Structure 1
Amino acid sequence: MDPMCGRFNVTSDPLQAVFMELLDQNYPGPENFNVAPTSNIWMILGKLDTNTPYTTVEARWWLTPNWAKEISTKYSMFNARAESLEKSPAFKTPFRRKRCVVPISGFYEWQRTEDRKRPHYIKPGESNAMMLAGLWDEWRNPEDDQILTSFTIVTCEAADPIRFLHHRQPVMLGTNEVAIWLNQDTDVDLLHSLVRPRLPHSLEIVPVSNYVGNSKNNGAKCIEPVGSSHQIPPLS
């Protein structure tokens, strides 16, 4: 089956409000309308200091576990299946101790039809940004002692209203769930309740052109509609 959540969009318009609300700072940028795995983007982490509950770190979108011998793309590590978070050697410790939130403007998905795959842009219907559940880790290069910070996006079975696009979806968090996901003390059963097929906010699904299919292409042309969009209501 095709991989899920392999391309998304980060632009300052929706992300600025999120960074001001959670971090009291401007969105650092840069804008990228066509983020692909192995790109560097910003993630949000929780902090123990209650005066500044969140911090932001730029990280590579392709998890490299701390125990890995080297940086590798041999195995697909840009997504983490919710069903195997506590079974996978790469994900079980980050799931318990190193959870992150990845704020994005929206993501792309390709609907498979009889003759081709049709790209769609999926974005929040009302909220400023889409908050994705992620896991992160740090890997130390044994040759030069440099630290690589990386992350993966958690995915689950797709909620019924968007299953026509793909059989899986990224785990989206509601605004009030960000603190729950990032809190080190959150009960594991509550965490599992977040990583299930649901839509915490409405979505707008926009058909776009094949231009976005080439990860070297960028700019607003990636999200230009080529047909009518439709709204998907929240699903708890």
Structure 2
Amino acid sequence: MCGRFALWITLIIPEHYGLVEPEEPILPSYNIAPGQEIVAVVQTTSGRNITRLKWGLIPSWTRDLGKSPKSINARSETVWDKPCFRSAVRHRRCLIPANRFLEWEKVEAKKQPYLIRFENLELFSMAGIWESWLNPETGETIESCAILTTKANEAVAAIHDRMPVIIKPEDYATWLAPKSHREQIETLLQPFADMPTQMLPVSTRVNSPKNNDPECIVPVLLPDDTQQGVDKV
């Protein structure tokens, strides 16, 4: 799964994605959590643009927002068939920029967080889908999203069996294009293994979304018995 990520190297975003309109400065965030507003890249009739989406997808047919599930992740293996996701994956795909994502390893009764990065890839794009929900009582529109996940690559599998789907830059156009066929999209939903994956243990401060500062991404030392089978730097 993907339950947290970080984005602080933001100045390269407009050039990296070829945005058609200047974007207001994107503030760094070191501990992005579900329910928060996140940055996403979408395809419009004029080109690629930045939008803000609430992390936790609300199905368009939701009647009672309080009782509706708000999915932060969608399994790529079943996303085409789930009523919550099937319309979005066909028509409303987005790219979610990140510098790192986080995962937790169960160590006896505790969970140790790891900051996960790809070597020589400071900025990468997670596959997202989004929906627009209209509140019938207030007329308010909420645009929300979920991150697609796939089985973990060899490195991440040491601590968890899932990871976000990573879309390569050469595949951005295919992923974002509304007219891309299902067969084209499915080829992109694979575990990312093009570059070595590095996992750095970080402080449990990231367990609380209230903590959002550079200290959240500073590696920490762990006892040797918690580091077996995990490639840490």
Task: Provide the TM-score with structure 1 as the length reference.
Answer: 0.87
| Residue 74 of structure 2: aligned partner | 80
| Residue 36 of structure 1: aligned partner | 33
Partners of 2:201 and 2:232 within 8 A in 1: no
Percent identity of paired positions between Structure 1 and Structure 2: 28
| Residue 166 of structure 1: aligned partner | 160
Task: Provide the TM-score with structure 2 as the length reference.
Answer: 0.88
Partners of 1:20 and 1:26 within 8 A in 2: no
Structure 1 residue 194 corresponds to structure 2 residue 188: yes
Q: CA 1:140–1:200 in structure 2 vs 1: closer, same or farther (change >3 Å)? A: farther
| Residue 105 of structure 1: aligned partner | 99
Alignment of 1:221-232 (within 5 A): 221-227=215-221, 230=231
Q: Deviations over 1:202-233 (max 9, x none)?
A: 4332111111111111101101111399579x
Q: 1:90 offset after TM fit, Å? A: 1.0
Supply the AA of the counterpart residue of 1:113. Answer: V
Partners of 2:41 and 2:96 within 8 A in 1: yes
3-state SS of 1:137 partner: strand
Structure 1 residue 184 corresponds to structure 2 residue 213: no
Distance in 1 of aligned mates of 2:119 and 2:24: 21
| Residue 227 of structure 2: aligned partner | none
Which of these residues, 194, 210, 231, is aligned with residue 216 of structure 1? 210
3-state SS of 1:83 partner: coil
Structure 1 residue 151 corresponds to structure 2 residue 145: yes
| Residue 62 of structure 2: aligned partner | 68
Q: 1:156 offset after TM fit, Å? A: 0.9
| Residue 19 of structure 1: aligned partner | 14
Partners of 1:18 and 1:128 within 8 A in 2: no
3-state SS of 2:132 partner: strand
Compare 219-228 and 22-31 and name the one that shifted more: 22-31
Q: CA 1:115–1:16 in structure 2 vs 1: closer, same or farther (change >3 Å)? A: same
Supply the AA of the counterpart residue of 2:13. Answer: V
Q: 1:76 offset after TM fit, Å? A: 4.9
Supply the AA of the counterpart residue of 1:19. Answer: P
3-state SS of 2:199 partner: strand
Partners of 2:23 and 2:50 within 8 A in 1: no
Q: 1:21 offset after TM fit, Å? A: 3.0
Structure 2 unaligned segments of length 5 or more: list them. 223-229
> RMSD value over aligned CA atoms?
2.1
Structure 1 unaligned segments of length 5 or more: list them. none
